[in-house]
């Protein structure tokens, strides 16, 4: 290291972050917690908030056409509850809600959800927006956190409870004409910033709202407990939820819903542990779009369940379309490493990984027990509209496993291990020169030029075969030898032996076949024979050549010529 580098390193060691500004989050005292022993065996009720929380977080909110496109996608994916907007806060949202109601764009089994703050003017406007809808979740919220009560509102716990219950009474009163007209209306209440609220107070205010609404087991209230800001590990959130559900009077009269954010990068984990703690419902967005670091990523969470053999109750098989629509509507690209959906998430460049994937695919295709068991691939890419062929890509870090996988799965060519060991370093050098990934066509062309169409002194023009006495074969061939055309002929136990004897007798090539294999490429009218031959000459090591033709004998003769040219080279 230079003196400047040493000095910079020493300065870095002496610097510290201002960690003293922050207080550790105080966890819930729950020594008899039970959630760690639970296993998620069924999917929750999903509610997409892409059109509200996801939309309000965009630099450029969705246009009406983009909202329609996203809405249609959510329906296609199988969402039964969709938060379609905050109609009292935005004319665009109000108009969109009216459109899907008036144009009968809400399927019978789908419930729309609208968000509303605990204010009378906003409540009346929201009721106006959903008039005529058959199934509605009225999502009412107000902030309950210790910090916001002290810093933002200057209100006591009692005053915050009064705010929530009064607003609940207003929703009940103003929505009664809708209910009388046939609307199935469900109340959802969120104590915003739940994770920063005293747990006993959170229980108290939610119980008060349930009581005012008249919640019953037949007509429960959705109690949504948001991690509005993720303030601690997902295990702490699970403790808070288990504590809450133990303490909540008439738990059977509530559907416990979660709305996690991703400030600490564990939004999905928090939602999963929350389900283990007893929650019933998850709010989130496609790919986690949302305020700040985003919401729970429903695609990832649903696919996590799927990978454990649990029906996700969402249709995610056309992942490419989901990505395309999401990117078009949000103007946010899906990262290439996004779980289950990114361009590279099923891709292996490492040689050892490629070899393991190749062997795992062979094991699955052999018909084991029908289960997916492939190293490094938690799910079959085909289940989300991909292809196992895309799992292996070759660069300078790849080895023989990657080369073998590409040749086998793209071109139906299976090379012996010994030949792969010979070809792989050649392909690796090509990658190092190019400085990046090698596409399958480049690998194929390297294979052809190195093993099939090998430049050298010999080329086969044509040949004739005939049987001779004693079950022997006679071969006569025309050859191009260093630009001169000559004829060779010989006899042997079969076509290959006869051709080799012709080469040895006429051209004085002392060579022997030491390895030979042949198999069919493709099938039907496109079928070709591929011949792989290894020869040795004098004291030289064996040298491989490959030939391909619809005629098996021609393929064999071409492979011999390719091997001889490689031997000369």
pLDDT at 483: 83
User: Residue 480 belongs to a domain with what CATH number?
Assistant: 3.30.160.270
CA–CA separation, 408 vs 359, rounded Å? 12
Query: Does the residue 338 lie in any domain?
Result: no
pLDDT at 148: 83
Residues 463 and 434 in one domain: no
pLDDT at 155: 87
Residues 374 and 299 in one domain: no
Its sign, for the CA torsion 431, 433, 439, 444, is negative
Q: What is the DSSP string of 466-525?
A: EEETTTEEEEEEEEEETTEEEEEEEEESSHHHHHHHHHHHHH---EEEEEEEEEEES-GG
Question: Among residues 412, 467, 403, which one has the least CA distance to residue 431?
Answer: 403
Query: Does the residue 38 lie in any domain?
Result: no
Residues paired with 516 in a beta bridge: 533
Pairing of strands 254-260, 221-227: parallel
Owning domain of residue 252: 44-308+317-330
Cα-to-chain-centroid distance, residue 83? 25
Q: What is the DSSP letter of 538?
A: T
Q: Tokens in use for 118?
A: 């605990």
Q: What separation in angstroms does the CA of 329 have from each of 54, 77, 297?
A: 10, 16, 16
CA–CA separation, 259 vs 287, rounded Å? 14
Residues 176 and 296 in one domain: yes
Q: pLDDT (tens digit, 0 to 9) for every residue of the chain, 569 residues total?
A: 677 776 676 666 667 889 899 999 999 999 999 999 999 999 999 999 999 999 999 999 999 999 999 999 999 999 999 999 999 999 999 999 999 999 999 999 999 999 999 999 999 999 999 999 999 999 999 999 888 888 777 889 999 999 999 999 999 999 999 999 999 999 999 999 999 999 999 999 999 999 999 999 999 999 999 999 999 999 999 999 999 999 999 999 999 999 999 999 999 999 999 999 999 999 999 999 999 999 999 999 999 999 999 999 999 999 999 999 999 999 999 999 999 999 888 877 766 777 787 788 878 877 667 788 888 889 998 999 987 666 666 766 666 777 888 888 888 898 988 888 888 888 888 877 776 777 889 889 999 999 999 999 999 999 999 987 778 999 999 999 988 999 999 999 999 999 999 988 777 767 888 889 998 887 666 778 999 999 887 666 788 999 999 999 999 999 999 999 988 87
Query: Does the residue 541 lie in any domain?
Result: yes
User: Residue 81 belongs to a domain with what CATH number?
Assistant: 3.20.20.70
Residues 437 and 482 in one domain: no
Q: What separation in angstroms does the CA of 331 have from each of 32, 58, 60, 327, 473?
A: 46, 8, 8, 5, 70
Residues 205 and 188 in one domain: yes
The 3-class secondary structure across 191-219, one letter per residue, is: EECHHHCCHHHHHHHHHHHHHHHCCCCCC
Residues 124 and 262 in one domain: yes
Question: Among residues 80, 72, 71, which one has the least CA distance to residue 43?
Answer: 80
Residues 49 and 164 in one domain: yes
Pairing of strands 543-549, 528-537: antiparallel
Q: Is 484 left (phi over 0), alpha (psi -120 to 50) or beta?
A: beta
Residues 462 and 442 in one domain: no
Question: What are the E-state strand segments in 432-471?
Answer: 458-468
Query: Does the residue 11 lie in any domain?
Result: no
Question: Among residues 426, 353, 356, which one has the least CA distance to residue 396?
Answer: 426
Query: Does the residue 32 lie in any domain?
Result: no
Residues 208 and 122 in one domain: yes
> Environment class of residue 252 by beta-carbon count within 10 Å: exposed (0-12), middle (13-18) or buried (19+)?
exposed
Query: Of the candidates 450, 468, 499, which is a domain's last residue?
Result: 450
Residues 127 and 276 in one domain: yes
Query: Does the residue 15 lie in any domain?
Result: no
Query: Does the residue 341 lie in any domain?
Result: no
Residues 165 and 51 in one domain: yes
- Cα-flanking dihedrals φ and ψ of residue 143, to 5°? -80, 140
Residue positions counted in the chain: 569
Query: Of the candidates 419, 450, 481, which is a domain's last residue?
Result: 450
Query: Of the candidates 267, 296, 330, which is a domain's last residue?
Result: 330
CA–CA separation, 236 vs 233, rounded Å? 5
Its sign, for the CA torsion 304, 309, 311, 314, is positive
Q: Tokens in use for 126?
A: 């929201």
Query: Does the residue 236 lie in any domain?
Result: yes
Residues 487 and 402 in one domain: no
Is residue 104 helix, strand or coil? Answer: coil
Task: Provide the number of structural domains found in the chain.
Answer: 3
């Amino acid at each position: 290291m230079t003196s400047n580098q040493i000095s910079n390193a020493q300065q870095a060691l002496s610097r510290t972050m201002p960690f003293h500004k922050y207080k550790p989050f105080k966890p819930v005292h729950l020594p008899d917690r039970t959630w760690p022993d639970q296993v998620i065996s069924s999917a929750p009720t999903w509610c997409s908030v892409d059109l509200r929380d996801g939309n309000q977080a965009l630099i450029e909110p969705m246009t009406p056409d983009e909202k329609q496109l996203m809405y249609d996608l959510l329906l296609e994916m199988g969402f039964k509850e969709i938060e379609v907007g905050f109609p009292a806060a935005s004319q665009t949202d109000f108009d969109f809600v009216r459109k899907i109601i008036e144009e009968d764009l809400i399927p019978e089994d789908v419930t729309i959800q609208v968000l509303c703050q605990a204010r009378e003017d906003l409540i009346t406007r929201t009721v106006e927006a959903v008039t005529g809808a058959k199934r509605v979740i009225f999502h009412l919220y107000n902030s309950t956190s210790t910090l916001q009560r002290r810093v933002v509102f200057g209100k006591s716990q009692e005053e915050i409870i009064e705010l929530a219950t009064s607003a609940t009474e207003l929703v009940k009163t103003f929505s009664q004409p809708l209910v009388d007209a046939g609307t199935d209306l469900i109340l959802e209440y969120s104590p915003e910033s739940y994770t920063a609220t005293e747990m006993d107070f959170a229980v108290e205010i939610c119980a008060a709202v349930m009581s005012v609404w008249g919640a019953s087991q037949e007509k429960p209230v959705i109690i949504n407990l948001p991690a509005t800001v993720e303030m601690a590990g997902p295990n702490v959130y699970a403790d808070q939820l288990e504590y809450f559900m133990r303490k909540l009077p008439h738990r059977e009269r509530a559907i416990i819903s979660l709305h996690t954010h991703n400030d600490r990068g564990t939004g999905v984990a928090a939602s999963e542990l929350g389900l283990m703690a007893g929650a019933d419902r998850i709010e989130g967005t496609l790919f986690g779009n949302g305020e700040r670091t985003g919401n729970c990523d429903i695609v990832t969470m649903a696919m996590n369940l799927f990978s454990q053999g649990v029906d996700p109750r969402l249709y995610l098989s056309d992942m490419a379309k989901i990505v395309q629509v999401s990117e078009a509507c949000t103007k946010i690209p899906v990262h290439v490493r996004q779980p289950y959906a990114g361009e590279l998430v099923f891709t292996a460049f490492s040689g050892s990984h490629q070899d393991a994937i190749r062997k795992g695919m062979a094991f699955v295709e052999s018909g084991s027990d029908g289960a997916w068991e492939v190293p490094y691939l938690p799910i079959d890419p085909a289940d989300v509209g991909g292809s196992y062929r895309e799992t292996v890509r070759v660069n300078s870090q790849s080895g023989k496993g990657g080369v073998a996988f590409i040749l086998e799965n793209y071109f139906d060519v299976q090379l012996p291990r010994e030949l792969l060991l010979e070809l792989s370093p050649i392909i690796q050098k090509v990658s190092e020169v190019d400085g990046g990934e090698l596409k399958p066509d480049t690998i194929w062309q390297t294979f052809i030029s190195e093993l099939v169409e090998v430049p050298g002194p010999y080329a086969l023009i044509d040949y004739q075969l005939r049987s001779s006495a004693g079950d022997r074969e006679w071969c006569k061939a025309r050859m191009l030898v260093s630009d001169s055309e000559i004829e060779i002929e010989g006899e042997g136990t079969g076509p290959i032996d006869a051709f080799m004897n012709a080469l040895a007798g006429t051209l004085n090539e002392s060579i022997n076949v030491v390895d030979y294999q042949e198999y069919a490429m493709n099938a039907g009218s496109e079928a070709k024979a591929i011949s792989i031959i290894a020869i040795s000459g004098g004291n030289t090591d064996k040298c491989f050549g490959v030939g391909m033709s619809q005629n098996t004998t021609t393929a064999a003769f071409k492979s011999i010529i390719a091997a001889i040219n490689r031997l000369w080279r």
